[in-house]
Amino acid sequence: MTSELMNRLQRLFASGKKGLLSIYYTAGYPTLNSTIDIAEALEKAGADFLEIGFPYSDPMADGPTIQQSSQTALDNGMNLNVLFDQLGALRKRVSIPVILMGYANPMIQYGVERFCKKAAEVGVDGIIVPDLPMHEYEQLYSKYFNENNLSNIILVTPQTSADRIHKIDELSDCFIYLLSSSSITGKSLDVNDIVDTYFRRIEDMHLKNPTIVGFGIANKTSYQKACAHHHGAIVGSAFVKYLGATENYLDGISDFIRQFKE
Amino acid sequence: MKYGVNDLGYYGDFGGAYIPEMLYPNIEELRQQYMAITTDKSFTDEFDRLLKDYVGRPSPLYLAKRFSERYGANIFFKREDLNHTGSHKINNAIGQILLAGRLGKKRIIAETGAGQHGVATATVCALKGIECVVYMGEIDIERQAPNVARMKMLGATVVPALSGSKTLKDATNEAMRDWINNPVDTHYIIGSVVGPYPYPDMVARFQSIISAEAKKQLFEHTGKHLPEYVMACVGGGSNAMGMFYHFLDDESVKLVAVEAAGKGIDSGHSAATSVLGREGILHGSRTILMQTDDGQVVEPYSISAGLDYPGIGPQHAHLHKVKRAQYVSITDDEALQAGLLCSQLEGIIPAIETAHALAQLEKMKFKPEDNVIICLSGRGDKDLATYIKHFNF
């Protein structure tokens, strides 16, 4: 693929850059209109790409921190119409790759074709839908992702079989989202031997796609551990917690990023 | 079976397994093994023996004489209320605990709304000496105190679900999260025909004993192989699916599923999913659910905690869509009246869930020779406080 045909995420990974830091946060949290301000501050602070969550009432894979931020966002009036309106300003202010992350039902109710078109229009590069099965994705929805040059990012856990990891590798065109452990979001990663073995096992599979570690990355130690074996890491709950606990949260974002990356 | 599940876990447009990757190995293990395990002779022998000696099956099919006079047809009650623990829920709990043992699981989790499924699960865990954790919405814990005490007495840990609306749907989310965090040693006993495939099919098979027995018993009573009507209440829909199961392919049998209209379909306080819901995804399956335009799950309402669920099982969604079964709804007040009527005409105090199915009889037009089987899914002991409050006893 020539670089003009790649989305921003694919270009970032093609550059061969390592130690990538991605930040997750929930759209519409802590306030309805904070979405783009936070994105801009994160880019300035040195984040390499972003995951913006669209909230769902029943987020099965999330721990209390992200659940709570989703509920607050919904109470603030966030929904996909509002989010796409806000993201209309995204590419005037933010140039790093952006992924939308959320559960299948809101996307399906919005209409997957319409969702993908809208996402591409506002400059989104990839989508993560943790509860969308691979078979249904391939049969029903992959055409809309492809037509709009959106990467579908799929999760792998320590329990995912080698066969399945190879299948996920085949279906991916950007990176694979490696869960640090089998858990919901927001549980700090215990950097022990099991994680080490698992990180090495995946590394030794020599997948065609790069791997980024997420879930449980809350400090420099776990971030560096992830980066030692993989292309980077995603910080979610720790950042959402920061947003909820800090009054002038935009001002402190560069310090927050500096905890991980100097 | 014409209305059964296909190889991909779908009933027509509904079903599947919409789960995060963290749950995939658990669900895949179940999918690959549930049929082989549950059809093995050692399993069916133990299942049948426990249903007979421990649960007290077969449950009677009782010709309710005074109800029959009132409604002008032969009304039969399938007496699931006489089961150990007081409802049909035990059938599935027995099946799943035996399955969990054969999968080598050391810990059981469950969700519960009214507490009936929680009690059934705590019971079978005590029976098998396995650790049991039951998730229950904080609000349900308050309104179903006797069942919380029962579960504790049976040795289970009851964990309040504090997220979202703090009721059944949130208890289900919390149980799923527990399973994500404990993927290897834990089995999740889902209490209804909901959730990702293979749960809807597995639970329906365990509950299908209801219609298998009823079919035989009807013949003994009447010399007829098929009734004209089969009726049951529907929350998630497990007693209804068990009651319908062996009649699904007998197209002459009219199937009537009764949902909870709460304070009225248009009151904003209802759980009549088939009327108020749209197609979407809930708790891992594509089904019909109550949701906002934006796809957020709506909190339902019913006086009956067992029908207070924003979705229906995917097989029900299919039966509704292809019109194999008729889905109707009954309000709180209609159900409470029917509960009183059944108590005073038949000497049976039904669960408020069950009373919804009984209330539908008032709206039916039968011929005198019609045979009608209604699933008396549970007894009303747990609901006495609600009945007392409503009727000022």
**ipTM of the complex in this document:** 0.94
pLDDT of residue B49: 98
Query: Is residue B215's pLDDT more than 70?
Result: yes
Average pLDDT over residues B316-335: 98
pLDDT bracket for residue B209 (50, 70, 90): very high
Query: How far is residue A108's CA from residue B293's CA, in Å, rounded to a whole number?
Result: 11
Mutate to test the interface with A, among B287, B296, B309 (most CBs of A within 10 A): B296
Contact predicate B271/B181, CB 8 Å: no
Identity of the amino acid at A88? G
Query: How far is residue B96's CA from residue A223's CA, in Å, rounded to a whole number?
Result: 41
3-state DSSP call for residue A83? helix
Q: Which residue has the tokens 């519960």?
A: B112
Query: Is residue A262's pLDDT more than 80?
Result: no
A106 chain-B contacts, CB cut-off 8 A: 294-296
Q: Taking CB atoms and an 8 Å limit, are A136 and B163 in contact across chains? A: no
Query: How far is residue A214's CA from residue B208's CA, in Å, rounded to a whole number?
Result: 43
B367 a catalytic residue: no
Angle between helices B89-102 and B24-39 (to 10 degrees): 100
Residues 6+ positions from B297 with CB-CB distance below 8 Å: A57, A58, A105, B169, B282, B289, B290, B291, B310
Identity of the amino acid at A182? S
Q: Taking CB atoms and an 8 Å limit, are A56 and B163 in contact across chains? A: no
β partners of residue A176:
A211
In angstroms, what separates the C-alpha of B202 from chain A's closest C-alpha?
20
β partners of residue B330:
B260
Query: How far is residue B87's CA from residue A14's CA, in Å, rounded to a whole number?
Result: 60
pLDDT of residue B1: 81
Residues 6+ positions from A92 with CB-CB distance below 8 Å: none
pLDDT, tens digit, 9 for 90 and up, residues A27-64: 999 999 999 999 999 999 999 999 999 999 999 999 98
The answer to whether residue B177 neighbours chain A at the CB level (below 8 Å) is yes
Query: How far is residue B95's CA from residue B38's CA, in Å, rounded to a whole number?
Result: 8
Q: Which residue has the tokens 């068990």?
A: B242
Catalytic residue among B78, B89, B166, B382: B89
Q: Of B265, B289, B274, B103, nearest to B198 (Cα)?
A: B103
User: pTM, whole model, 2 decimals?
Assistant: 0.96
pLDDT of residue B163: 83
3-state DSSP call for residue B183? coil
pLDDT bracket for residue A2 (50, 70, 90): low
Residues 6+ positions from B77 with CB-CB distance below 8 Å: B61, B62, B64, B67, B346, B348, B374, B376
Mutate to test the interface with B, among A26, A54, A58 (most CBs of B within 10 A): A58
Q: What is the rounded (10 degree) CA torsion for A120, A126, A130, A131?
A: 30
Angle between helices B314-321 and B199-207 (to 10 degrees): 80
pLDDT, tens digit, 9 for 90 and up, residues B116-156: 999 999 999 999 999 999 999 998 898 788 999 999 999 99
Q: Of B262, B257, B290, nearest to B276 (Cα)?
A: B290
Q: Of A229, A234, A227, nearest to A128 (Cα)?
A: A234
**Furthest CA-CA distance within chain A:** 47
Catalytic residue among A40, A43, A51, A125: A51
Instruction: Among A105, A136, A183, select the one facing B16 at the smallest CB separation.
Output: A136
Q: Taking CB atoms and an 8 Å limit, are B294 and A110 in contact across chains? A: yes
Instruction: Among A61, A109, A136, select the one facing B295 at the smallest CB separation.
Output: A109
The answer to whether residue A75 neighbours chain B at the CB level (below 8 Å) is no
**Greater confidence, A201 or B207?**
B207
**At CA A239, angle to CA A237 and CA A240, rounded to 5?**
60
pLDDT of residue A193: 62
Q: Of B304, B229, B314, B238, nearest to B274 (Cα)?
A: B314
Query: Is residue B158's pLDDT more than 90?
Result: yes
Query: How far is residue A218's CA from residue A77's CA, in Å, rounded to a whole number?
Result: 29
Query: How far is residue B274's CA from residue B310's CA, in Å, rounded to a whole number?
Result: 10
In angstroms, what separates the C-alpha of A104 from chain B's closest C-alpha?
7
Token pair belonging to B369? 């020779």
**Greater confidence, B306 or A116?**
A116
3-state DSSP call for residue A179? strand
A159 chain-B contacts, CB cut-off 8 A: 22, 24-25, 183-184
pLDDT of residue B142: 86
pLDDT, tens digit, 9 for 90 and up, residues A183-214: 888 877 776 666 778 888 998 999 999 999 99
Distances (CA, A) of B336 to A100, B266, B271, B376: 48, 19, 16, 15
Task: Kindly report the average pLDDT of chain B as a whole number.
Answer: 96
pLDDT, tens digit, 9 for 90 and up, residues B339-386: 999 999 999 999 999 999 999 999 999 999 999 999 999 999 989 999
Q: What percent of chain B has pLDDT over 70?
A: 100
Cα nearest neighbour of B15 on chain A: A136
For every residue of B274-330, DSSP letters joined together read: HHH-EEEEETTEEEEE-B-TTSPBPPP--SSTTT--SB--HHHHHHHHTTSEEEEEE
Angle between helices B145-153 and B116-128 (to 10 degrees): 10
Query: Is residue A102's pLDDT more than 70?
Result: yes
What share of residues in chain B are helix, strand, coil (percent, to 5)? 45, 20, 35
Cis, peptide link before residue A210, omega less than 30° from 0:
no
Cα nearest neighbour of A187 on chain B: B181
Query: Is residue B249's pLDDT more than 70?
Result: yes
3-state DSSP call for residue A178? strand
pLDDT, tens digit, 9 for 90 and up, residues B46-103: 999 999 999 999 999 999 999 999 999 999 999 999 999 999 999 999 999 999 999 9
The answer to whether residue B7 neighbours chain A at the CB level (below 8 Å) is no
B111 a catalytic residue: yes
Q: Taking CB atoms and an 8 Å limit, are B296 and A56 in contact across chains? A: yes
Distance of CA B123 to the CA centre of its chain: 17
Token pair belonging to A17? 């850059």
The answer to whether residue A171 neighbours chain B at the CB level (below 8 Å) is no
Q: Taking CB atoms and an 8 Å limit, are B177 and A154 in contact across chains? A: no
Average pLDDT over residues B304-326: 96
Average pLDDT over residues B173-189: 94
pLDDT, tens digit, 9 for 90 and up, residues A107-146: 999 999 999 999 999 999 999 999 999 999 999 999 999 9
Query: How far is residue A182's CA from residue A202's CA, in Å, rounded to a whole number?
Result: 15
Alpha carbon distance, N-terminus to C-terminus of chain B: 48
Q: What is the rounded (10 degree) CA torsion for B93, B94, B96, B98?
A: 150
For the beta carbon of residue B326, count every other beta carbon within 10 angstroms: 16
3-state DSSP call for residue B205? helix
3-state DSSP call for residue B20? coil
The answer to whether residue B392 neighbours chain A at the CB level (below 8 Å) is no
The radius of gyration computed from the CA coordinates of chain B, to the nearest angstrom, equals: 19
pLDDT of residue A87: 98
The answer to whether residue A94 neighbours chain B at the CB level (below 8 Å) is no
B293 chain-A contacts, CB cut-off 8 A: 109
**At CA A168, angle to CA A165 and CA A169, rounded to 5?**
85
pLDDT bracket for residue B114 (50, 70, 90): confident
In angstroms, what separates the C-alpha of A37 from chain B's closest C-alpha?
24
